[in-house]
Amino acid sequence: MRISARAQRIEPFYVMEMAKSASAIAREAAHSDMPMIYLNIGEPDFTAPPLVQEAAERAIRDGKTQYTQATGMDALRERISGWYAQRFGLDVPARRIVVTAGASAALQLVSLALLEAGDEVLMPDPSYPCNRQFVAMADARAVLLPSGPAERFQLSAAQVEQAWGAHTRGVLLASPSNPTGTSIHPGELRRIHEVVQGRGGVTLIDEIYLGLSHEATYGQSALALDDQIISINSFSKYFNMTGWRLGWLVLPEALVPVIEQIAQHLFICPSTVSQYAALACFEAESLAEYERRRAEFKARRDWFVPQLERIGLLVPVMPDGAFYAWADCTAACNKLFAGRSEYNSGMGQANRDQPPGSWEFAFELMKHAHLAVTPGRDFGHADTSRYVRFSTANSMVQLKAAVARLEALLT
């Protein structure tokens, strides 16, 4: 069977490959005194709160399971609009909001609507791997620009201006970012958008972790800058609805019918039951619970990051949002692999001429500490072999146990 060149261009999703290996080891460790601790997947350990679950049950019981319009239920678009007003003080009309089958569908729709074959989209390196694959699926190309601690692992206006070429169509940013949990400073974001607008391009920004911002400086939506910015958002992270597959886009008004037409063909509509459930996300009781959970995520960050640094896993930029810690494991690797002439990663080292990095380190943690983390390979090429991503979307009990295991292995 012939496989399309497009499919062959898509890179592996190593996070999921690591998860499979972790599951295999976990089965062996399940009945031991050290079961696997998972700090690898970016999924809240909280589930949808009671009102949301009850709304889903009620929709099923009442037979509200048929198609909605492709842009989503008007009532839900209005609730999202109201949330922007309440949380951010922004006037985002419901007519500019399109509900989607998760943020993944939102990115696919935007990529298909705006990108031609051969177009280029500038993105930071490191960044979430699936974002660049959506660009590739539209036969365009993601151009990754090295973005280190000095830039908060984000693009700068100067980088965008220098890298802009004849085929550049725009930028795809994420604030807060996966894997780093860092956001773009509002002033820098404004300057980036001015560069993009000055060249007739488009600014796309992934804001799926925006609700989980921990610092006032960074907790504002890019939509405050301009109604030409396209924002991608989701019910997965702040609203704790990962498997419900529901997200949304905020678009320039002229783009809404274009996205609607593509969505009609690709998805017909987002999940109807999920939409009815999501209406309850914006009830006062649910919002209060989400804020309590946001405070819990911050408390985990405030405890966990200093603990990592204490045992030699340095986090060069304190995450200001999401639930990740992007830690440099260089010193830990030097200690762990000192004197070893050979080592076995379990899935093979990418380059035998290079010293062990985060890929090998992650497998050592799985095998000897029964701790699953995510190596930097997925997130780009600019020094990512030095970094591992820890997800703090787990209980404080589990985080403390993870630190104890790390300490036992590394000290």
**Which pLDDT does position 34 carry in this prediction?**
85
193 pLDDT higher than 60: yes
% pLDDT > 90, the chain: 84
Question: What pLDDT, in 10s, does the model give residues 273-321?
Answer: 999 999 999 999 999 999 999 999 999 999 999 999 999 999 999 999 9
Task: Give per-residue pLDDT as tens, 161-184.
Answer: 999 999 999 999 999 999 999 999
- pLDDT (tens digit per residue) in 232-243: 999 999 999 999
Give the per-residue pLDDT at 353: 57
When comparing pLDDT for 367 and 189, which is higher?
A: 189
Asked if residue 16 has pLDDT above 90, the reply is no
Nearest to 72 by CA among 112, 44, 109: 109
For the chain, the distance separating the N- and C-terminal CA atoms, rounded to the nearest angstrom, is 52
pLDDT per residue over 331-382, tens digit each?
A: 999 988 876 655 544 444 444 556 788 999 999 999 999 999 999 998 999 9
Q: What is the mean pLDDT of residues 34-43?
A: 91
pLDDT at 360: 92
Selection from 84, 75, 74 nearest residue 250 by Cα: 84
**Mind listing the pLDDT tens digit for each residue in 79-137?**
999 999 999 999 999 999 999 999 999 999 999 999 999 999 999 999 999 999 999 99
Whole-model pTM: value is 0.93
- pLDDT classification of 225: cutoffs 50, 70, 90: very high
**What pLDDT does residue 345 have?**
47
Q: What is the pLDDT of residue 343?
A: 53
> Exposed, middle or buried by CB within 10 Å (0-12, 13-18, 19+), for 386?
middle
Instruction: Quote the pLDDT of residue 271.
Output: 98
What pLDDT score was predicted for residue 342? 54
Specify the range with the lowest mean pLDDT, choosing from 19-23, 79-83, 139-143.
19-23
- Report phi then psi at 160, rounded to 5: -60, -45
Residue 66 has pLDDT above 80, yes or no: yes
236/47 Cα distance (integer angstroms) = 10
Answer yes or no: is pLDDT of 330 > 60.
Answer: yes
Q: What is the mean pLDDT of the chain?
A: 93
pLDDT of residue 311: 95
